[in-house]
Amino acid sequence: MYEVDAGVEGDFACWYETEHVPAMLSRPGWNAMRRYRCTDGQPYASIYELDDDLQSEPHISEAPFRSGPFVARGLRSYHGRTYRQIHRSGDPPKPREWLNLVTVDVEDAGAEAFNRWYNEVHVPEILGCPGWLANERFECVDGEPRYLATYDLEDSQRPFSSPEWEAAVGWDEHVGHLRGFHGFRVYRLVFESVAPT
């Protein structure tokens, strides 16, 4: 997740997509990436897909992104994390144009019950609503937020405007164990690339 100064977004995108992304995807185990922009403005989200069998976790230090060439190119508010997939449901469309990202921290005491409810109850209810196509859930391996959920959407409006969604949304029984919830932002795909074979 990151923001880019408005006056240099075009130049940043050119550098990012023609130089930075190819360099990242040339690394062993880095297979593909998708870059999204939030529909209500900043921030951007870049999702890199990694091999399951990497010998070590690809820790991404935030230090280079807080100074030097990245800041000079207009990047700010950078937040990078590595996540391991823990659940998936539904069939993502191609291309994966619309995405809803949800992050949440959960106290250890409530994590098992939260995950069981989320996978077995919440995800099926949400994917039963018009416009919600697929879900993936991830657990962070190098920091916080602890959990990330991605939802593939039909578009930016229909998924959030049905009575079924109004009835299904909400985590009331888990509020006591939740920390740092963020969700309901919608992202649209602006660029994608795969590693050379």
Question: What are the boundaries of each domain within the chain?
Answer: 3-81, 83-187
Average pLDDT, the chain: 89
CA 163/CA 124 separation, integer angstroms: 16
- CA proximity to 186, closest of 95, 99, 97: 99
pLDDT digits 0-9 by tens, 20-43: 999 999 999 999 999 999 998 779
Count CB-CB contacts under 10 A for residue 41.
9
Q: Please give the helix or strand (H or E) that residue 115 lies within, else none.
A: helix 108-117
pLDDT digits 0-9 by tens, 58-112: 656 666 666 777 888 999 888 889 999 999 999 999 999 999 999 999 999 999 9
Count CB-CB contacts under 10 A for residue 40.
9
CA 90/CA 57 separation, integer angstroms: 27
Strands 178-194 and 132-140: unpaired
Kindly report the CA angle at 14 between 100 and 155, in degrees rounded to 5? 25
**pTM, rounded to two decimals:** 0.91
CATH topology for 83-187 is Alpha-Beta Plaits (3.30.70)
Q: Are 128 and 151 contacting, i.e. CB atoms less than 8 angstroms apart?
A: no
How are strands ordered across the β-sheet holding 44-50? 44-50, 30-38, 178-194, 98-106, 147-153, 132-140, 83-90
pLDDT digits 0-9 by tens, 79-93: 889 999 999 999 999
pLDDT digits 0-9 by tens, 139-194: 999 888 999 999 999 999 999 999 999 998 877 777 777 877 676 789 999 999 99
